[in-house]
Amino acid sequence: MAHGTRVVIYAALVGNALIAVTKFIAAAVTGSAAMMAEGIHSLVDTGNQVLLLHGMRRAKQPADARFPFGHGKEIYFWSFVVAIMVFALGSGVSIYEGVHRVLHPEIVTDPIVNYIVLALAFAFEGVAWWMAWREFGRQRRGRGIAETVQSSKDPTTFVVLFEDSAALLGLVVAAAGLVLSQVLEMPVFDGIASIGIGIILAFTAIWLAMRTKSLLIGEAAEPALVADVTRRAGALPPVVAVNEVLTLHMGPDYVLLNISVDFADDLPVGDIEQAIEALTREIRSAHPRIQRVFIEAESRPS
C-alpha cells in the first residue's frame, strides 16, 4: 500500500475520533437527534479506519502453506466489512433515532452549541476530505471519478474519500435540520435531518459494498496489462499462438497471471523451458505487480 494512503487513513481516524466525542457531548447538552446521528456517524467512521488499518497490516503477511498466494485479499474483506458497518450501524441507528424523534419531537436546547460543533466538524472533515481527494487524484491520471473507482484495485483510498464525502454532506443536512427546527419552531425537522443522514449513509454503504464485493470475488487486471502480456508472449519466436491470458488480483499490488500458449511442435523440451523462463522474466520485469506467473504449453484450439 502507498504511504500516502496510510497517512490519509490516520488523519481521518484522529479527526473522526475527536469529532465523535465533540458531537456526543453536544447531543447530550442540547438533546439534538441530528447531532446524535452525526456522533454515531463519526464513531462508525472511526471504527472503519481502524478496520482498514487492520486490513492493510494483515494483507502484508507473507504466503504460507495454508495461503500460498498470500493474504492480499484481506484488505478487500475488511473494506467490505466497513461498508456493512456503515449500513448497519451508521445508517440503521441514524434512521431509527430520526424516526423516534419525528414521532416524539423534543425541543433542541442551546442550539448555538450545535452550530459551533458543526462548524468545527466541517473544518476537520474538510481537511480529511482534501487529503483523501489529493491521494485519490494521484490515481486518476486524467480519468473521471467513476472510471477511476471502477478500475482501482486499492479500495482504501476511495472508501475513505466517499466516507468523508458522506460526512460533509451529513453535516450540511444536520445544520439544515437544526436551522429549520429553530426558525420554524418545529423540532420535527431535527428528526427528519437524522433520517436524511441515515439515508445518505445507506446509499454510500450500498455503493461501497457493491464495489468491494467485486474486488473480493476477484477481478482481472486492467485490459492494458493483459494486452501487453499477450503481445510479449506472441512476440516470442518459439510461440505459434497465444491461446489465453488470465489474470486475477490477489491484492492491490499482487497480480496472478496464467498464460496458455502454443509452442512450435518441433521445439525440443529444453528450448520450451528456456522460452518459458525468458518470458516469465520479461513479464515480471515489465510489470512488478505480477508476482506469480504460470505458463501452460497447449495446442491451439481447433
Domain parsing of the chain, residue ranges: 3-217, 223-297
Residue 255 has φ and ψ, to the nearest 5°, of: -115, 130
Could you tell me the sign of the dihedral formed by the alpha carbons of 136, 139, 145, 150, in that order?
negative
- Per-residue b/e over 160-183, b at no fewer than 16 CB within 10 Å? bbbbbbbbeebbebbbebbebbbe
What pLDDT score does 265 carry? 86
What pLDDT score does 7 carry? 83
Average pLDDT, 10 consecutive residues per value, the chain (302 residues) = 70 86 86 83 87 91 91 93 87 87 80 85 87 85 83 87 89 90 87 91 91 92 94 91 94 94 89 92 94 91 70
Rounded Cα distance, 186 and 50, in Å: 38
Q: Which fold has domain 3-217?
A: Alpha-lytic protease prodomain-like (1.20.1510)
Q: Would you give the DSSP letter of residue 108?
A: P
Q: Which CATH superfamily is domain 223-297 in?
A: Cation efflux protein, cytoplasmic domain (3.30.70.1350)
What pLDDT score does 2 carry? 52
Provide CB contacts within 8 A for 169, sequence distance 6+: 200
What pLDDT score does 1 carry? 45
What pLDDT score does 210 carry? 92
Rounded Cα distance, 110 and 187, in Å: 13
Q: Which pTM value belongs to this model?
A: 0.84
**CA 275 from chain center: how many Å?**
39
Strand partners, 249: 255
Rounded Cα distance, 239 and 279, in Å: 10
